[in-house]
Amino acid sequence: MKPILFKSLNWNALPATVACFCLGVWACQGAEDVIKKSFQVEPGTLLVMEVDRGSIEVAPAGGNQVQIEVVRKVDRVSDSKAADIFSRHEVSFIQEGNEVRVKAQFKTPPKLFTKDHNLQVSYNVLVPKQFNLDLHTRVGSVKIGDLTGKMKLKTGAGSLKLGKIDGPVEGKTGTGSIAIKRAQIITVETGAGSITLEDAGGEVVADSHTGSIEAALTGQPKGDCRFVTGAGSIRLAVPANTAADLEMSTGAGHVESDIPVTLVGKVSKHSITGKINGGGPKLFLHTRVGSVSLKKRGVIAAEKE
């Protein structure tokens, strides 16, 4: 076999060729588009968001305005292709009465293996301190600051993180963790992820199909509380004077309570059923695989340090 000779290659032009190639790659790195909208509102107004993708972050601000910033990015495409993707990804804003609505989706469903799937979106929102939220993103995390109002949050894949909420919270994610700094009435569910409730009160329902649950009640629960996971440990801290009907169980693991329990029925290393401080609303804790523990409030925090 004869050796291959690169006689046709102009070595003097190589630097210019490399430079042109690099410029071409740089020119196709991507593009960004920013949309900004603001609305005059009254405290207690409802913000409804139904978006096909992207993270949502809502923070409190002074005044009576809702300010919405939508940042869209596309990587590894030309400017013309990015402009085409932005034009087909429709973002609409409507204000009617005491509601502000935001909707975002492609005019036609993106085809598989196209650059449409490179589109990244983030929503940054400022609202008055007293405000209600109904937010749904198919893929993306949701983060909420300290607000007063009713929170309804849903994501198909992503975490939910909330600050101090004065009002009921309903949250659901298909895959992702859930963390709430403080709220009174809580109903949350994750298909796969941990749940952390730092300061919960009133009534609580926490359900994780796969993931640990850690919660602390601020005082006497006002209604039944339920903590269930398919696989993972459950650690609940309550004030020592909490009065409740207790039911703790695990399919594979151990159960323990730092608070005295007046037992009802048979005793098992996998379950505890009884009353604490005379009984009251039900505290139901169950995992199929993992340990379950009831602690006096403050013990969990001390153990972490």
Instruction: State the pLDDT confidence band at 298, using cuts at 50, 70 and 90.
Output: low
Is 22's pLDDT higher than 70? no
- Average pLDDT score over residue span 228-247: 97
Is 122's pLDDT higher than 90? yes
Is 278's pLDDT higher than 80? yes
The β-bridge relationship of strands 142-144 and 271-276 is unpaired
Mean pLDDT of the chain: 89
User: Which pLDDT value is given to residue 95?
Assistant: 97
For residue range 242-263, list pLDDT tens digits in order: 999 999 999 999 999 999 999 9
Cα–Cα distance measured from residue 62 to residue 223, given in angstroms and rounded to the nearest whole number: 34
User: Which pLDDT value is given to residue 265?
Assistant: 81
Report residue 133 CA to chain centroid gap.
14
Is 4's pLDDT higher than 50? no
- Average pLDDT score over residue span 258-277: 92
Is 6's pLDDT higher than 80? no
User: Which pLDDT value is given to residue 30?
Assistant: 74
Is 83's pLDDT higher than 50? yes
Is 143's pLDDT higher than 70? yes
